[in-house]
A = this chain, B = another copy of it.
Amino acid sequence: MEKVSRLTNEQKEYFMREAMKEADKAALIAEVPIGAVVVLEGEIIGRGHNLREQQQQAAAHAEMFAIQEACRTVGSWRLEGAQLFVTLEPCPMCSGAMLLSRVEEVYFGAYDPKGGTAGTLMNLLTDERFNHWSYVEGGILEAACGQMLTDFFRSLREKKKQKKTGN
């Protein structure tokens, strides 16, 4: 079954900016800046940002928190009809959580050449062997989402360098 987007470009960019606000929250606490929101009928029903270092939890990804909050909001593990926005292409775990929650449409910002499984290394979200698949669109505000990550890692390298030279 061919899946289609039900959103305008303006809507896609609006919600990706909301995901970027979540990524900002991660950056402020020295976490890799990745953020996500889940949207249902035009309303944000779940938000999340990366908290891996702070929580020391391997699964503490932005998308997982956004899906968890969305499930709480609707009172169901089924997020049928929902859209998920995330600033970076999802990894296998988060792609899998999107399938399990039956999210209808997935929009991501920057592509992840090292671990992205929503089109780059593979596309888990459109593999018809699973019992659900989603519409997927990458590259929403791609430059801005990618820049957040670039800036974060540059600043991290500079801090490490300063520490090394004692400045």
Contact = CB atoms under 8 A, between A and B. Distances in A.
Query: Taking each of A95, A100, A127, which has the highest tally of chain B beta carbons within 10 Å of its own beta carbon?
Result: A100
A124 B59 contact: no
Q: Enumerate the 10 nearest inter-chain pairs by beta-carbon distance, A residue then B residue, closest first.
A: A93-B96, A92-B96, A58-B101, A58-B77, A58-B100, A93-B97, A57-B71, A59-B97, A56-B77, A56-B76
Nearest to A61: B100
B130 A59 contact: no
Q: How many copies does the complex hold?
A: 2
Contacts of A156: none
Contact of A99 (B71, B92, B95, B130): B92
Given A58-B71, A58-B78, A59-B68, 18 more contacts: A56-B71, A57-B77, A58-B77, A58-B79, A58-B97, A59-B59, A61-B100, A91-B96, A91-B100, A92-B96, A92-B117, A92-B124, A93-B93, A93-B96, A94-B96, A114-B131, A115-B131, A121-B130
A101 B93 CA distance: 11
A85 to B, nearest CB: 17
A64 B94 CA distance: 12
